[in-house]
Structure 1
Amino acid sequence: MQSFFRAWAEETYRVCWSLFKVMLPVVVVVKLLDNWGFSEVLAEFLAPLMNAVGLPESMSLVWAATMLSNIYAGMLVYVQLGEPLTQAQISILGALMLIAHGLPVEVAIARQAGVSVIFSLLLRIVGALAFAWLLRLMYSVWPAEQAAELLWQPEIQMATSWWGWAKEQVISFTVIFAIVALLLAVLRLLRILGVEALMAWCLSPVLRILGIARSAMTITITGITLGMAFGGGILIDEARQGRVEPKDVFSAIMMLSLLHSLIEDTLLILLLGADFNAIFWGRLLFSLLLVAVLTRLFNYSAVGRFCYRDVRLTGAN
């Protein structure tokens, strides 16, 4: 029992240190960019793309805030704009927000696992636009022109002072530490009880299609359900320890980039009045198909080595 707790504490320290040393400088930079009005600059760049997916150009500000910060920030901007959208439009906007949000932090986490920054950004942004465009095509056949019903107006108070912002970050990092510690304890228990092996056997057909080995299965499921920071953080440690093969790390990170925090994020977008089938089942199917294609494409292409590096050999700086 003592060895269990010692190993658990050591692993928790490694995972959290890997996460926090990436996240802390990134959130500071994002705060500075936000103070300098970078969201508005990004929104101007994104505005022409909104027409391509059937949205008003003003929604570019919502997506820009979401990409730089998180879905909560995007929701706040959307409510403040007060521009009515149809259910089809809010579902398309939700698709953009679900796949491409929190990019500075989440792309940095993917980089620590060995995935290049350029590839991660292209996967998230182009993937989001592709999914949104497919939804637009779907709604051109099966229209959903009724007004989107805002089920909850988020009362999000963004700290304006550096001191208030710092307190928010301390709370956020403390919560992440507690959840990571709990997750690692649960994962160790699942291994001891043999539950992890049983889950891997049940899901092996799907994993084979996605090109993800059993060794990365539990971590991938953790990230899909809880979020990129948790699944990605544990995956970084597993990759560095050599317990997951590089190609499986790459496949798992691609999956987590497109499909993570499936429950919480979906519920948030539903509160804006989106169509559940589109943003849940549609996103799930889109992510599975895209990852299945990409894993096979990179297996047969030299391009793959420019998208991923083996952190077991090179380390991560």
Structure 2
Amino acid sequence: MSHHPAFRAIGGAVKELARDTVTTSAELIKITVPVVIVTKILEELGLIVYISMALEPVMNLMGLPGALGLVWATGIMTTLYAAVGVYAVLAPGLELTGGQVTVLCSVMLIAHSLPVEMSITKRAGAGLLPVGAIRLLGALFYGVILYHLCSTFGIWQEPARIFFQADTGEETLTAWATTQLFNLGLIVVIIFCILVAMRLMKVVGLLALLEWLLKPVLPLFGMSHRAAPLTVVGMIVGIAYGGALIIRETTTGGMDSREKFNSLALMSLSHGLVEDTLLMLAIGGKLAGIFWGRLLFSLLVIFILVRVIDHFSRSRTTAA
């Protein structure tokens, strides 16, 4: 029975899933554990208060407590998973609403891992300053819009569901370490669930459907039919893969500089539409805000940006 092809296929899929979970979790732990330890040290030294105060003006624009600025700053400089590790430490002590968690998740989805991802977009042909400005200002602008929509119309004002454990109140390192181990274990479970969900989506054709929906509209955003499929892949899978495809296409001379910039700018605002979205859903973000709203916002920003650049290019040509 165990030699039946179906059982072998299932066994192979389970082994691959387990291997991917272990690999991804190992990478997560290498990044997250030092970040969580540094956060604890900052907390013990009383520096979290000062960091929160420094970040409070920006976070308040989006209706968020200053302490969450440390979560976003961690995500900007490292990874979303490291940011989730800091969120696991801080969130249980904050009284957050579903709307606030959604705003935080949304800005992290737009602006995270900037040192790594911007180096990729630079290699692919987009300048550091324009892409950095698009991501940081885009995240802030979308966060402000989403906050005002939520507060004005009373959307997602219920208390957020925080799945992570708070500190027990005991001032022992053992108690703190136990709590963090639980939270890390929970993140590993989340990773496993995300990997399962992505495989199921691929099997039932949801990823192909998303690609089919996006591909026809991208020419409206300054991309040819040749560039659109590469952009869609980057939006769904992530900047690392999408950027690599564009770098490869560039070597063949298949894309001009304007088209590359438009593609990379859109990818910068909306990428990892499956994995990253699932991660933010797992910590309490609402799908309408972190997926549909972000996607529509990204398309609108690039639509306007393309036309503004075209207008100035025509004006410069006419003047010359």
Could you state the TM-score of these two structures normalised by the residue count of structure 1? 0.66
Cα deviations by residue, 1:204-249 (Å, 9 ceiling, x for unpaired): 6512321111111121111111111000111112123211222211
Q: Residue 138 of structure 1 aligns to a residue in which SS?
A: helix
User: How far apart, in 2, do the equivalents of 1:203 and 1:72 lie?
Assistant: 27
User: In structure 1, what is the equivalent of residue 134 of structure 2?
Assistant: 123
User: How far apart, in 1, do the equivalents of 2:70 and 2:96 lie?
Assistant: 15
CA deviation after TM superposition for structure 1 residue 302, in Å? 5.2
Cα deviations by residue, 1:108-152 (Å, 9 ceiling, x for unpaired): 111112211111111110000011011011112222221111356
User: In structure 1, what is the equivalent of residue 162 of structure 2?
Assistant: 150
CA deviation after TM superposition for structure 1 residue 285, in Å? 0.5
Preserved contact between residue 150 and residue 271 of structure 1 (Cα < 8 Å): no
Among 234, 240, 251, the residue aligned to 2:245? 234
Could you state the TM-score of these two structures normalised by the residue count of structure 2? 0.65
CA deviation after TM superposition for structure 1 residue 276, in Å? 1.1
CA deviation after TM superposition for structure 1 residue 298, in Å? 1.3
User: How far apart, in 2, do the equivalents of 1:255 and 1:117 lie?
Assistant: 15
Among 65, 71, 74, the residue aligned to 1:65? 74
User: How far apart, in 1, do the equivalents of 2:214 and 2:86 lie?
Assistant: 39
User: In structure 2, what is the equivalent of residue 48 of structure 1?
Assistant: 57
Matches within 5 A, 1:94-109: 94-109=105-120
User: How far apart, in 2, do the equivalents of 1:233 and 1:151 lie?
Assistant: 36
Unaligned runs of 5+ in 1: 1-27, 159-195, 306-317
Matches within 5 A, 1:129-168: 129-143=140-154, 144-151=156-163, 154-155=183-184
Deviates more, 1:235-244 or 1:288-297: 235-244
Cα deviations by residue, 1:275-314 (Å, 9 ceiling, x for unpaired): 11111110010011111111111122259x9xxxxxxxxx
User: How far apart, in 1, do the equivalents of 2:64 and 2:215 lie?
Assistant: 39
User: How far apart, in 2, do the equivalents of 1:45 and 1:116 lie?
Assistant: 29
User: In structure 1, what is the equivalent of residue 267 of structure 2?
Assistant: 256
C-alpha change, 1:157 and 1:240, in structure 2 (3 Å) is: farther
Matches within 5 A, 1:6-17: none
Among 308, 311, 315, the residue aligned to 1:297? 308
Larger radius of gyration: 2
User: How far apart, in 1, do the equivalents of 2:293 and 2:231 lie?
Assistant: 19
Preserved contact between residue 224 and residue 261 of structure 1 (Cα < 8 Å): yes
Matches within 5 A, 1:55-94: 55-81=64-90, 82=92, 83-94=94-105
Q: Residue 155 of structure 1 aligns to a residue in which SS?
A: helix
Preserved contact between residue 270 and residue 295 of structure 2 (Cα < 8 Å): yes
C-alpha change, 1:61 and 1:203, in structure 2 (3 Å) is: closer
User: How far apart, in 2, do the equivalents of 1:204 and 1:145 lie?
Assistant: 35
Preserved contact between residue 76 and residue 156 of structure 1 (Cα < 8 Å): no
User: How far apart, in 2, do the equivalents of 1:231 and 1:129 lie?
Assistant: 24
Letter in 2 for 1:280: F
C-alpha change, 1:251 and 1:66, in structure 2 (3 Å) is: same
Alignment RMSD:
3.3
Matches within 5 A, 1:185-204: none
User: How far apart, in 2, do the equivalents of 1:120 and 1:45 lie?
Assistant: 25
* Aligned sequence identity (%): 35
User: How far apart, in 1, do the equivalents of 2:135 and 2:279 lie?
Assistant: 19
Tell which has more relative contact order, 1 or 2 (C-alpha 8 A, sep 6+): 1
Unaligned runs of 5+ in 2: 1-30, 166-182, 188-207
Preserved contact between residue 239 and residue 246 of structure 1 (Cα < 8 Å): no
Letter in 2 for 1:249: K
Letter in 1 for 2:85: L
Preserved contact between residue 43 and residue 63 of structure 1 (Cα < 8 Å): no
C-alpha change, 1:145 and 1:204, in structure 2 (3 Å) is: closer
User: How far apart, in 1, do the equivalents of 2:278 and 2:286 lie?
Assistant: 11
